[in-house]
Structure 1
Amino acid sequence: MKKTETPDPATEGVAAKTLAKPPRKLAIALHYDNRSAPRVSAKGMGPVAERIVEIAREAGVPVEANSPLAEALSHLELDEEIPEALYQAVAVLISFILRKGKAPNPPG
C-alpha cells in the first residue's frame, strides 16, 4: 500500500490493518502475509499521517495508538521488514487486534 492507495482488507495482512499514531502525528501501516515478517506499507507525519489514518478508517482497517512502536517503526523504509527486535511488540499489537475481532484472518 503506497501513501495514496486505499488498503484492501481482503488482501492485506493483519498488521496492515494496524496503524500506530503517536501525539506528533506519526502513522505507520504494516502489511503481513504470513510468509515473512510484517513490512512497512505506508508511513508519514503531520498531514500525511492524518491521511493514512483517514484512508485506513474508511477501508475498515483498525487503527491502534502505540506511540513507542510507531516511533520505532518510523525509522524503517517503505517495504522494509520489521527487525527481529520489534517482533514481540508487533505480535502483541496483532494479537490485540485479533482478540478484539477487528481484523480478518491474514491470507496464507
Structure 2
Amino acid sequence: MKRKKAVALKYDKGYKAPIVTALGAGKIAESIINLASENKIPIVENKDLTESLSMLNLGDTIPQELYETVAEIIAYIHRISSKIEDF
C-alpha cells in the first residue's frame, strides 16, 4: 500500500508562482490535511499533481509545467470560496 502524500501551496499577488509551504507522506501528510481542514483551507485531491509537487522542497516555486494545472485549482478554490461567502 502506498503512503498518503500531501502538499500545501501558497499564492499571493506579486508571487512569481505558488510556493510549497508544507509537504510530507504518511503521518505528516495526515497532519497537513487535518490542519488544513481545521483551518477551513480548501483541500483538492489530485494524485498526479501531488506526486509532481512532492519532488520539490519547502519554499520552492512550482515548475512552469505545473502552472496550468495549479491555476485551474486556484480558480476553482476562488469560485467555491466566493459562493460560500455569498451564502
TM surpasses 0.5? yes
Bigger Rg over Cα: 2
Q: Which runs of 5+ in 2 are unaligned?
A: 83-87
Letter in 1 for 2:73: L
TM-score by length of structure 1 reads: 0.70
Alignment of 1:76 with 2:56, yes or no, is: yes
Superposed structure 1 runs of 4+ greater than 2 Å apart: none
Letter in 2 for 1:60: K
TM-score by length of structure 2 reads: 0.86
CA RMSD of aligned residues (A): 1.3
Alignment of 1:25 with 2:4, yes or no, is: yes
Question: Post-superposition shift, 1:91?
Answer: 0.3
Alignment of 1:91 with 2:71, yes or no, is: yes
Can you list the C-alpha shifts for 1:63-87, whole angstroms capped at 9, x where unaligned?
1111111111011110000011110
Q: How many residues are treated as equivalent by the alignment? A: 80
Looking at structure 1, the residues matched to 67 and 27 of structure 2 have their Cα atoms a distance apart, in angstroms, of: 28
Of all paired residues, the percent bearing the same amino acid is 44
Looking at structure 1, the residues matched to 37 and 28 of structure 2 have their Cα atoms a distance apart, in angstroms, of: 14
Partner of 1:63: 43
